[in-house]
Amino acid sequence: MEFRKKSTIGLFGSSVKMLIKIVFIFITLLLLVVLVDKINFPYPNKKIEKIVPNENLKVVK
């Protein structure tokens, strides 16, 4: 009798691996968003407001 190694996992095994990869990527992105949110970026102290005169506006058709 000859020994044969089954090298294919099957549909269930490959779908589980794909699901684990997707969950890992999702958790990594979520963690990245949370960490970036924790950083205090500088922002201007006063409100910036610039009035554009009507002369500079062009109508595009």
Helix, strand, coil % (nearest 5) of the chain? 50, 0, 50
Q: What number is the average pLDDT over the span 5-20?
A: 77
Length of the chain counted residue by residue: 61
CA 53 to chain centre: 39
Domain boundaries, the chain: 11-43
pLDDT score of 9: 65
pLDDT one-digit tens code per residue, 21-58? 999 999 999 999 999 999 888 877 888 788 777 776 67
Higher pLDDT residue, 7 or 33? 33
The confidence band for 19, taking pLDDT boundaries of 50, 70 and 90, is very high
pTM of whole model > 0.75?
Answer: no
CA 27 to chain centre: 10
Distance CA 16, CA 14 (A): 5
